[in-house]
Structure 1
Amino acid sequence: MHDIRDLIRKGLEAHGYDGLYCAGECGCDLSELFACGHIGEGCEPGYKVLREGSDEYYITGTKPEGAPAPDVDGAGLIAAERKRQIMEEGWTAEHDDAQTDYELSQAAAYYCIADDCHDSELVFPSTWNSVHMKRGGFPFPNLKDLIKAGALCAAEIDRLQRAKAKEAA
């Protein structure tokens, strides 16, 4: 079972944040989430900033000048989900390369189809176990499902590019 701090830490990291802050009260970096005891009450994602005239950092809600924007757009959410699929689920390039009957794009379609139009026999990859195809909740498709679909499309594109490069070699 995951500690809630680990889940929050992963989410913050995936979106480019350095920690949490509570305006006027405290801030904590990713290594010490909720050290203040707030347990997330009133906390917002924050950035690490060097304190003027010091070599110490603090967490603030103001993005430092020149810092990259957090990955909150669709492409960033998809990239973070794909990274999660690889790191946590083990869906590596080797696994994906074995999906030669377009199972990855079929799975992506499964996550995109509205529930009232859903016919799992038409889009569900026949070689996959349904346990891996948990949908995000009602209504379908929802944001979580669309992010998964995008990550599966990215995996299929990568697989096709590797196959093309292998053929050319």
Structure 2
Amino acid sequence: MIPVAHASNNDVLQPPRGTTHDQVQPLPITRVRFSDNTPAVWSYWQPSDDERWAIATGAAVRLSIVGHTHPPLHIGVDEDHQADNLSVPSVEHVMQLVAKYRAIRSNSPMPEQEAYRAVLDAVCLLFARGTSPPTPAARDVLLERVRQISAEGWTPEHDDHHGKGEMAAAAGCYALFTDAYPNQGQCPAEWPWNADWWKPTNYRRDLEKAGALILAEIERLDRLTKRTEGA
């Protein structure tokens, strides 16, 4: 974690004698007094993305104090914090976190699907606006996108080769040829790829596939826009 400035700061602690700014950075603080007039010092710390993930998946926060004793202290959160700048994580970010989670849980009997669901709940809780985990529907669409990348190999680099709307067309097939327009499992003429890749299962599962493919197509368009603007 790194110290950060806060609107309430009213002083700065300088490095202790015998140290330099290269060794110890000045610390912005807020000097306060509690209701019984006891003085106290507040400082604010920002966890990294990796640390947020670790906390969300059960890791404890370790407090290291130089010396041989432990002063009275309290660790809390900033009640004035606003979540307006937070955003939903990208699939690439989720994949990185899933990989870390799987590495840590490599000796655990937790099934892979449960591991995916656990880390996706943690990621969405951390990055999405609000304080509740995602709905099962939202989680399962993102879970299917993660499965497409990890199990099928449909990485962003792979998806970039489908630049003619194929993924959107595939999503449309999974969304359309269900209970509304049943085709008895036959590959629709609108399906953009080889018939071997047409794998309908049931209505809800097909909608999960459709949602994940739409997500993949939107992300492909965003990557294309970013490359075009950077050219």
User: TM-score, normalized by length of structure 2?
Assistant: 0.42
1:133-144 equivalences under 5 Å are 133-137=198-202, 142-144=203-205
Distance 1:96 1:131 in 2: 18
Give the structure 1 partner of residue 153 of structure 2: 90
Cα displacement string for residues 38-74 of structure 1 (whole angstroms, at most 9, x for unaligned residues): xxxxxxxxxxxxxxxxxxxxxxxxxxxxxx9665522
Distance 1:80 1:132 in 2: 19
One-letter amino acid of the counterpart of residue 191, structure 2: F
Distance 2:112 2:214 in 1: 23
How far the C-alpha of 1:98 sits from its partner, in A, is 0.5
Please say if residues 16 and 69 of structure 1, whose CA atoms lie closer than 8 Å, have aligned partners that are also in contact: no
1:14 matches 2:116:
yes
Residues 131/91 of structure 1: CA separation in 2 closer, same or farther (3 Å cut): same
Please say if residues 111 and 146 of structure 1, whose CA atoms lie closer than 8 Å, have aligned partners that are also in contact: yes
Distance 1:164 1:12 in 2: 35
Larger radius of gyration: 2
Give the structure 2 partner of residue 113 of structure 1: 176
1:147-162 equivalences under 5 Å are 147-162=208-223
Question: What SS does the aligned partner of 1:16 have?
Answer: helix
How far the C-alpha of 1:85 sits from its partner, in A, is 0.5
User: Which structure has the highest helix share of the two?
Assistant: 1
Question: What SS does the aligned partner of 2:164 have?
Answer: coil
Runs of 4+ in structure 1 over 4 Å off = 68-72
1:101 matches 2:164:
yes
Give the structure 1 partner of residue 225 of structure 2: 164
1:11-50 equivalences under 5 Å are 11-16=113-118
- Name stretches of at least 5 consecutive residues in structure 2 with no aligned partner: 1-109, 120-130
The number of residues matched between the two structures is 107
How far the C-alpha of 1:14 sits from its partner, in A, is 2.2
Question: What SS does the aligned partner of 1:82 have?
Answer: helix
One-letter amino acid of the counterpart of residue 111, structure 2: R
Let me know the Cα RMSD of the aligned residues: 2.6
Distance 1:100 1:131 in 2: 21
User: TM-score, normalized by length of structure 1?
Assistant: 0.56
Residues 89/129 of structure 1: CA separation in 2 closer, same or farther (3 Å cut): same
Give the structure 2 partner of residue 58 of structure 1: none
How far the C-alpha of 1:155 sits from its partner, in A, is 0.3
Give the structure 2 partner of residue 42 of structure 1: none
One-letter amino acid of the counterpart of residue 195, structure 2: S
